[in-house]
Structure 1
Amino acid sequence: MSSDYREWAPSPELAEHVRCLWGSRVAGARHSQRVIPDGCVDLLWADGGLRVVGPDTRWRDVDASPGSRMVAVRLRPGAARLLLGDIAPHELQDTTTDLAQLWGSSADRLLDEASTGPVGPALERALCERLPRFGEVDPLVHALVAEFDAGAASLAELDLGITDRQLRRRVVAAVGYGPKALHRVLRLQRTLRMETRGGLAELAVAAGFADQAHLSREVRSLTGRTPSAYLPLENRNASVA
């Protein structure tokens, strides 16, 4: 079984809100894909329907039938309001929800457009129409995500100028879970993108973990698998804690 997967950049109008668009098509037998947390929410067209996915706090397995096709818009961490409107992201944590429950008749119009023409442009047009009302992004959360993506080892090393309670309230409102959970998720994603020719111990230090055992625990907790399932080939011969 296999799945053809690709990503492409959003239109310039959505670049601040959208990390990427992505599409996949299942070739051969039934396909199961493990999806791991990334701090994002997705607007997904699949099997003739529109759904909202996330925000995820742990891994989940998604089954797809032979020949099935999916196209989605993946919003950046902190930009969920463009898709969810006045619905709090934490209300949809670890769920997949029919878009019609959130958008009403607007979802029906979008589904008709996506079903009769190119899906990606239809999804982007729908989100662009929402920019005047729901396009505001919390600048503090935006800056926090940038710090985590750049490799901030912990919240403690950041001087954000607000109390822990205020920070948690704003991050939950924008992302769907708190800053500590967001840090764990984005650190995992950054680790999986890193390239190193050393073993897991070296990678753990470079990625900001306490040690190799800490890295292994975090990968298992968030993905349900050992680091060897995800890390570059050079690291797979290293022992796993």
Structure 2
Amino acid sequence: MSSDYRERAPGPALTAHVRCLWGSRVAGARHRQRVIPDGCVDLLWSDGRLSVVGPDTAWRDVDADVGSRAVGVRLRPGAARLLLGDVAPHELTNTTTDLALVWGRACAERLLEEASTGPAGAALERALSARLPRFGEVDPLVHALVTEFDAGAASLAELDLGITDRQLRRRVIAAVGYGPKALHRVLRLQRALRMPAHGGLAELAVAAGFADQAHLSREVRSLTGRTPSAYLPLVNRNASVA
């Protein structure tokens, strides 16, 4: 079984909000894809249906039949409001929800027709671009926090964000769907998956911000359902497809 998966960068208008546009097609046989948390939400067109994939807190497996096709837009951590509008991200945690329940049936049906009769990725991108004036604001504190985590901040304790823990938790949940500690775990794992493991797992663990190799191993098992030796060599090979 195999799945052809590709990513491309968004247009300039969506660069601050969108991590990538992606597409996949299953060839050969029924395909099972492991999906791991990444702090993102996705707008997904798949075989004539539009869905919102909420923020995940744990791994899950997604089955796709031979010949099935999917196209998605993956928003950056903290930019969920562009897709969700006034719906709180935590309400959609670990769920896949019909877009009509988030945008309303009329808007969802118009977009579905565009995505099903023309290039789906371009249709999704246009729809999100049209929402920028109303829902394009990103919490600057959450953006700064995500930037620090992506850069390898080892813990929240080392960051001076100028607000209380309670205020930080409230703002991160509102923007991401779960709290700053969970976000740190997820983004630290994603950082590890992006890094080469040529020097061994112990060296990778320290470089990615884990306490040691045992800590890395526990987190990989918890968030991906796999051992580091089985999972980490698969860097950048469909690790986060949703």
Classify the TM-score, shorter chain. over 0.9
**Alignment map for 1:56-135 (pairs within 5 Å):** 56-104=56-104, 105-135=106-136
- AA partner of residue 48 (structure 2): G
- AA partner of residue 226 (structure 1): T
The C-alpha deviation readout for 1:78-118, integer Å capped at 9, x for no partner, is 00000000000000000000001111110000000001000
For 1:227 and 1:193, the matched residues in 2 are separated by 13
Map of 1:224 onto structure 2: 225
Unaligned runs of 5+ in 2: 235-242
- AA partner of residue 65 (structure 1): D
Structure with more contact order per residue of length (Cα contacts < 8 Å, sep ≥ 6): 2
Alignment size in residue pairs? 233
Percent identical across equivalent pairs?
86
- AA partner of residue 20 (structure 1): C
For 2:199 and 2:184, the matched residues in 1 are separated by 24
Unaligned runs of 5+ in 1: 234-241
- AA partner of residue 218 (structure 1): E
* Offset at residue 184 of structure 1 (A): 0.2
The C-alpha deviation readout for 1:148-188, integer Å capped at 9, x for no partner, is 00000000000000000000000000000000000000000
- AA partner of residue 62 (structure 2): V
Off by >2 Å, runs of 4+ in structure 1: none
For 1:232 and 1:48, the matched residues in 2 are separated by 34
Most deviating of 196-205 and 25-34: 196-205
For 1:134 and 1:141, the matched residues in 2 are separated by 16
Map of 1:206 onto structure 2: 207
The C-alpha deviation readout for 1:132-163, integer Å capped at 9, x for no partner, is 11000000000100000000000000000000
The C-alpha deviation readout for 1:186-236, integer Å capped at 9, x for no partner, is 000000111132221111111111111110000000001111122238xxx
Map of 1:18 onto structure 2: 18
Q: In structure 1, the residue corresponding to 2:160 is in which secondary structure?
A: coil
- AA partner of residue 217 (structure 2): S
For 2:88 and 2:61, the matched residues in 1 are separated by 25
Q: In structure 2, the residue corresponding to 1:231 is in which secondary structure?
A: helix
